[in-house]
Structure 1
Amino acid sequence: EYLVSQGVNPKIPPLPLLSDEFIKSMEKIKSSKSKSEELKFAIIEHIHKHYEEDPEFYERFSDRLKRLLEEYKENWDILATELERLREEMKKGREAEEVFGIDPKRGMPFFGLLKREIFGKISAGELKKEDIDFLIDLTKDIVGIIEKEVKSIDFWDNPTKQKRLKSHIILNLLLPKLKEKKEVFKRRNEIVQKLIELAYHIYGEKNHGN
Structure 2
Amino acid sequence: MDKRHLIAKRAARYFQSGDVVNLGIGIPSLCGNYAEPGVLFQAENGFIGVGATAEGLMVNERTYNAGGVPFIPVPGSSGFDVAMAFGVIRSGRLAATVLGALQVSERGDLANWSTPGRSFGMGGAMDLVNGARKVIVAMEHCTREGAPKIVKECTLPYTGRGCVDHIVTELCVIDVTKEGLLLRELAPGHTLEEVRAKTEAELSLAEDLREMVI
> Which bin holds the TM-score, normalised by the shorter protein?
under 0.3
TM-score, normalised to structure 2's length?
0.22
Structure with greater helix share of residues? 1
Q: Which has the larger radius of gyration?
A: 1
TM-score, normalised to structure 1's length?
0.22
Structure with greater strand share of residues? 2
